[in-house]
Amino acid sequence: MRLLTFLVFLLLVLETYSQSTAVPYTLEDRDRMIRLEEKFESQQKQLDDIKSLFYWGFGIMISLSLFTMGYMVWDRRTALRPVQDESRTLSEKYENLIRALKN
């Protein structure tokens, strides 16, 4: 039991000692950290550029789709107008013919 208590105590002391030792921070480490931050900043700028490119691309695609839909609606209306006019004239002629036959 004493041996177990001693081992646990020894492990706790070694653990606290290993956590309290300071790690030296050299100039080389500082330079490495600066280069790493610069690399992240350049990647972030690239991601921002790609994001703005996607916004422009999607905006153009949506605009073209809306323009195409508008053109389709306009084209259908202009194509149907002569047919509707001709249908009205034929219906009027038919009604005139029916009236003439009844008299």
3-state SS track over 1-67 = CHHHHHHHHHHHHHHHHHHHCCCCCCHHHHHHHHHHHHHHHHHHHHHHHHHHHHHHHHHHHHHHHHH
Residue 103, H or E segment: none
Q: What is the pLDDT of residue 28?
A: 86
Q: What is the pLDDT of residue 32?
A: 86
- The dihedrals phi and psi of 11, each to the nearest 5 degrees, come to -65, -40
**Each residue's pLDDT expressed in tens, for the chain with a length of 103 residues:** 888 888 888 788 777 766 555 667 788 888 888 888 887 888 888 999 999 999 999 999 999 999 999 999 999 989 888 889 999 999 999 999 999 988 7
